[in-house]
């Protein structure tokens, strides 16, 4: 039976990846990871150095959690190309931590024969606290027919699919007006709106001064 493959036509917004629970992080794993990566940071492999730095024990490298998320995506997205993987680390990892990796489809779109899926992925520790959050971009075939056309050197199956997303768009920037009529500075990256130019009111025309009327001449009596 051929291995399962991921195709664009079968994926919908909000689809969840099967949760993956990892075994607790132990010191043997940390030593092997340091040997594989060449990163022998003392606070990650030497208990004495870690305590001297004010830590309760050696600390696990955060990139080991990033590797767990990569495994989650790789197991689910068979046949897909990983175009981008970014992660943010919000909590330190320690020996004994058990991470549960999760994810969901947050965005999908296709144009000119190229089809993409955007995933939101994250890892929680044994206390349910968020440890790592990431985003993944996958390039996939639209269907089996699309993949077969690629294998035979034929043009791709072209279907324009408008973007669908469950990600919340950033709110518009509001500019508050301070007392005295001065506007507060907007946040960095926000475009400043140009104030409208006020039209000048036409100046009133000056009335021409009236010439004084000449007094009437008196007639002389004969």
Q: Is residue 180 part of a domain?
A: no
Which pLDDT score, from 0 to 100, does residue 1 have?
39
Q: Is residue 155 part of a domain?
A: yes
Q: Is residue 43 part of a domain?
A: no
Q: Is residue 68 part of a domain?
A: yes
Strands (E), 90-195: 100-111, 114-124, 130-140, 161-165
- Taking the C-alpha atoms of residue 107 and residue 194, their distance in angstroms, rounded to an integer, is 34
Scan for tokens 């999760």, then name that residue: 102
Q: Is residue 175 part of a domain?
A: no
CB-based contact 65:20 (threshold 8 Å) = no
- Taking the C-alpha atoms of residue 113 and residue 109, their distance in angstroms, rounded to an integer, is 11
Q: Is residue 160 part of a domain?
A: yes
DSSP string, 49-60: HHHHTT-SS--B
Q: What is the per-residue pLDDT across 108-141, written as a single tens digit (0 to 9) for each?
A: 999 999 999 999 999 999 999 999 999 999 999 9
User: What residues make up the domain containing 99?
Assistant: 8-25+60-165
Token readout for 167 is 């990600």
CB-based contact 83:73 (threshold 8 Å) = no
CB-based contact 135:121 (threshold 8 Å) = yes
Q: What is the per-residue pLDDT across 32-44, written as a single tens digit (0 to 9) for each?
A: 999 998 889 999 9
- Taking the C-alpha atoms of residue 82 and residue 195, their distance in angstroms, rounded to an integer, is 45
**pLDDT confidence bin for 159, thresholds 50/70/90:** very high
Q: How many domains does the structure of the chain reveal?
A: 1
Q: Is residue 161 part of a domain?
A: yes
Q: Is residue 120 part of a domain?
A: yes
Share the mean pLDDT of the chain: 84
CATH classification at residue 65: 3.10.129.10
CB-based contact 27:35 (threshold 8 Å) = no
Is the predicted pLDDT of residue 17 greater than 70, yes or no?
yes
């Amino acid at each position: 039976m051929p291995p399962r493959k991921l195709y664009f036509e079968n994926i919908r917004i909000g689809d969840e990846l099967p949760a993956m629970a990892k075994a607790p992080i132990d010191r043997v794993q940390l030593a092997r990871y340091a040997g594989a990566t060449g990163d022998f940071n003392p606070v990650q492999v030497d208990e004495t150095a870690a305590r001297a730095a004010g830590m309760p024990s050696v600390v696990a490298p955060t990139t080991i959690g990033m590797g767990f998320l990569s495994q989650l995506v790789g197991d689910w997205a068979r046949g897909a190309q990983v175009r981008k993987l970014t992660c943010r680390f919000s909590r330190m990892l320690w020996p004994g931590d058990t991470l549960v990796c999760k994810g969901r489809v947050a965005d999908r779109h296709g144009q000119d024969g190229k089809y993409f899926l955007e995933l939101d992925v994250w890892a929680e520790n044994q206390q349910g606290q968020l440890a790592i959050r990431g985003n993944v971009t996958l390039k996939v075939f639209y269907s089996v027919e699309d993949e077969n056309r690629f294998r035979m050197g034929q043009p791709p199956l072209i279907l324009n699919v408008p973007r669908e997303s469950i990600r919340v768009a950033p709110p518009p920037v509001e500019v508050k007006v301070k007392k005295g009529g001065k506007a507060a500075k907007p946040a960095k990256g926000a475009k400043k709106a140009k104030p409208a130019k006020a039209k000048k009111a036409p100046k009133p025309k000056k009335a021409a001064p009236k010439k004084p009327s000449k007094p009437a001449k008196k007639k002389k009596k004969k």
